[in-house]
Amino acid sequence: MMKTADNVKTIQANVGRNDFTLHGLHLNISGKEKMAELIGENIKKLMTRKEETPIILKWEENQKDPT
């Protein structure tokens, strides 16, 4: 399903056992902070403008009247 959607990004999260609660189902405070940092970094990457070269069109000396 992700292959067809261009607006989906995956984040490789490297969280260990120490980042989860005792029962292991939820992230604890340190795990949440790590995930928030990863999400923030990825958002910054997506929002930065990339330098693109503009398309330069040649000017014609004798412009044709469109009408």
**Is pLDDT of 20 > 70?**
yes
Domain assignment of residue 42, yes or no = yes
Domain assignment of residue 24, yes or no = yes
Backbone angles phi, psi at 27, to 5 degrees: -75, 145
Distance CA 17, CA 24 (A): 8
Please report, to the nearest 10 degrees, the dihedral formed by the alpha carbons of residues 34, 35, 40, 41 taken in order.
Answer: 70
Q: Are 37 and 28 in contact (CB under 8 A)?
A: no
Label residue 17 by pLDDT band (50, 70, 90). Answer: very high
Place of tokens 């929002």: 47
**Is pLDDT of 32 > 90?**
yes
Q: Where are the alpha helices (DSSP H) in the chain?
A: 29-47
**pLDDT greater at residue 1 or residue 6:** 6
Domain assignment of residue 30, yes or no = yes
- The count of domains in the chain is 1
